[in-house]
Amino acid sequence: MRIQILGTGCPKCRKLTANTEEAIKRAGVEAEIEKVTNVAEIAKFGVAFTPALVIDGEVKASGRIPGPEEIGAWMGEV
């Protein structure tokens, strides 16, 4: 599973990364986390607000910080 965190590295981006890492740990799945900080690359996803979470190429959240439970549910859908 490939998970991308889109954002410039602000505190909200770091919180989303922590929540994602917690969700992966709880779910016990193999996942690669990639941080995308380049604004041009972020724009390719059609995201207007960061932080954003992308799981296997699909934008799951933008402009907010979902909790580990919500992220874990998305991982179960894949």
Structure tokens at 35: 């941080």
Closest CA to 14 of 54, 49, 65: 65
Residue 32 among the catalytic residues: no
Catalytic residue among 5, 13, 53, 54: 13
Taking a C-beta distance cutoff of 8 angstroms, is the pair 6, 51 a contact?
yes
Residue 30 among the catalytic residues: no
Catalytic residue among 1, 2, 9, 10: 10
Taking a C-beta distance cutoff of 8 angstroms, is the pair 45, 35 a contact?
no
Residues known to be catalytic:
10, 13
